[in-house]
C-alpha cells in the first residue's frame, strides 16, 4: 500500500518513527507531519499565513522514504500534501492515512480537541481510509509495541466495509496490554480534567496560565473507550464527520422554525 503517516506531536516524534520502521519495508511510506509540536489543534488549518515545507532528512536518510516537516497544523500537513504537493491528483493519493502514534490517549471527549484525530479527519475528507492511533499516558507499552500490533491488524482494518464511507477509526492503546486483551469496538466515552488551568506569575508579575490537570474518568458506560482501554484492551471507535442531528431533522428539515 501507499501509506501517508502524520501526527500532531511533530515530524521528529518517536511515534512516527516507530510506524515508519515497521511499515517502510512492505509499503510505500510518506511522512507529512507538523514541523513542531501541535497537540490539541483539533481540525484547525492555517489561513492567511505562510506554510513552509521542508524535507525531513533524518527519516529520509535512515529509511529511504519521502518525508516532510510542514510549518502548520496536523490538518494542514495532510491537506497540503494532498492538495499542494500532489496537486489534488487523486491517482497519486495514498491508500491509507495513519495519524500517530500519539504520545497520550485520545479517549472520550479528548478526540474533540485532538490534532491526531483532526489529521485523520482531513485524510478522510479526501475519501481516503484514515485512522488515528494513540498510546495512553505513562505507558508500559512502547511505540514499537504499538506499531507491531497495528501492522498485524492492518489487513483486517483495510478489509472492513464502511457504511457509505462515513467513518474513520479512532484507535487507542492502553498503558499495558492485558493478558487476555482484545481489539474491541467501543463507544466514545467521557474524559474530563480537574484543575486544568494553573495560574502562574512571570518575572514581570503578569499572571499567565498553564494547561495541565488531572484526568477524571467518571460516568462512563462499561463498553466505552475509556473503560475498555483502562482495562488493557485496544479500543476502536468509528467517527463520523456529519455532526448534525439527522434523527431530529428527519421530520423537520425544510419546515419553518
Per-residue pLDDT at 195 = 73
Using the predicted structure, report yes or no on whether residue 196 has a pLDDT greater than 90: no
Domain encompassing residue 17: 2-187+235-249
Using the predicted structure, report yes or no on whether residue 231 has a pLDDT greater than 70: yes
Which burial class, exposed, middle or buried, applies to 190 when counting CB atoms under 10 A from its CB (0-12, 13-18, 19+)?
middle
Cell of 139: 505507558
Cell of 160: 472492513
Using the predicted structure, report yes or no on whether residue 112 has a pLDDT greater than 60: yes
Using the predicted structure, report yes or no on whether residue 40 has a pLDDT greater than 90: yes
Per-residue pLDDT at 165 = 62
Per-residue pLDDT at 156 = 94
Q: How confident is the model at residue 243 (pLDDT cuts 50, 70, 90)?
A: confident
229 assigned to some structural domain = no
Using the predicted structure, report yes or no on whether residue 129 has a pLDDT greater than 90: yes
Q: Looking at residues 46-72, what average pLDDT do you find?
A: 98
Higher pLDDT, 70 or 167: 70
Q: In this predicted structure, which of 41-55, 178-192, 239-253 has the lowest mean pLDDT?
A: 239-253
Q: Looking at residues 65-80, what average pLDDT do you find?
A: 98
d(CA 31, CA 70): 10
CATH number of the CATH domain containing 125: 3.40.1210.10
98 assigned to some structural domain = yes
139 assigned to some structural domain = yes
Could you give the percent of the chain with pLDDT greater than 90? 87
Per-residue pLDDT at 66 = 98
Q: How confident is the model at residue 19 (pLDDT cuts 50, 70, 90)?
A: very high
Using the predicted structure, report yes or no on whether residue 164 has a pLDDT greater than 60: no
Per-residue pLDDT at 161 = 73
d(CA 188, CA 127): 23
- Three-state SS for the chain is CEEEEECCCCCCCHHHHHHHHHHCCCCEEEEEEECCCCCCCCCCCCCCCCCCEEECHHHHHHHCCEEEEECCCHHHHHHHHHHHHCCCCHHHCCCEEEEEEEECCCCCCHHHHCHHHHHHHHHHHCCCEEEEEEECCCCCCCHHHHHHHHHHHHHHHHHCCCHHHCEEEEEEECCCCCCCCCEEECECCCCEEECCEEEEECCCCCEEEEECCEEECCCCCCCEHHHHHHCCCEEEEEEECCCCCHHHHCCCCCCCC
212 assigned to some structural domain = no
Q: Looking at residues 65-83, what average pLDDT do you find?
A: 98
94 assigned to some structural domain = yes
166 assigned to some structural domain = yes
Report residue 137: phi and psi, to 5°.
Answer: -65, 145
| pTM for the whole structure | 0.94
The domain total for the chain is 1
Q: Looking at residues 95-115, what average pLDDT do you find?
A: 96
Could you give the percent of the chain with pLDDT greater than 70? 98
200 assigned to some structural domain = no
Using the predicted structure, report yes or no on whether residue 158 has a pLDDT greater than 70: yes
227 assigned to some structural domain = no
Q: Looking at residues 133-138, what average pLDDT do you find?
A: 96
Per-residue pLDDT at 160 = 85
Average pLDDT of the chain is 95
Using the predicted structure, report yes or no on whether residue 70 has a pLDDT greater than 90: yes
Amino acid at each position: 500500500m501507499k501509506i501517508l503517516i502524520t501526527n500532531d506531536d511533530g515530524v521528529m516524534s518517536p511515534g512516527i518513527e516507530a510506524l515508519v520502521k515497521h511499515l517502510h519495508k512492505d509499503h510505500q511510506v510518506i511522512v507529512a507531519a507538523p514541523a513542531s509540536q501541535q497537540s490539541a489543534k483539533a481540525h484547525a488549518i492555517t489561513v492567511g499565513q505562510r506554510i513552509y515545507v521542508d524535507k525531513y532528512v533524518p527519516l529520509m536518510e535512515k529509511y529511504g522514504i519521502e518525508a516532510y516537516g510542514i510549518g502548520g497544523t496536523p490538518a494542514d500537513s495532510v491537506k497540503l500534501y494532498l492538495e499542494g504537493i500532489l496537486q489534488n491528483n487523486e491517482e497519486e493519493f495514498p491508500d491509507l492515512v495513519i495519524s500517530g502514534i500519539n504520545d497520550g490517549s485520545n479517549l472520550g471527549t479528548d478526540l474533540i480537541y485532538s490534532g491526531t484525530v483532526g489529521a485523520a479527519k482531513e485524510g478522510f475528507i479526501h475519501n481516503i481510509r484514515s485512522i488515528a492511533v494513540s498510546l495512553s499516558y505513562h505507558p508500559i507499552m512502547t511505540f514499537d509495541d504499538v506499531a507491531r500490533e497495528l501492522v498485524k491488524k492492518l489487513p483486517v482494518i483495510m478489509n472492513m466495509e464502511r457504511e457509505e464511507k462515513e467513518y474513520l477509526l479512532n484507535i487507542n492503546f492502553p498503558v499495558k496490554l492485558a493478558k487476555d486483551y482484545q481489539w474491541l469496538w467501543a463507544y466514545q466515552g467521557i474524559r474530563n480534567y480537574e484543575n486544568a488551568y494553573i495560574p502562574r506569575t512571570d518575572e514581570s508579575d503578569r499572571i499567565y496560565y498553564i494547561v495541565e490537570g488531572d484526568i477524571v474518568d467518571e460516568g462512563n458506560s462499561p463498553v466505552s473507550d475509556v473503560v475498555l482501554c483502562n482495562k488493557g484492551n485496544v479500543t476502536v471507535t468509528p467517527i463520523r464527520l456529519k455532526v448534525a442531528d439527522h434523527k431530529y431533522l428527519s421530520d423537520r428539515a425544510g419546515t419553518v422554525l
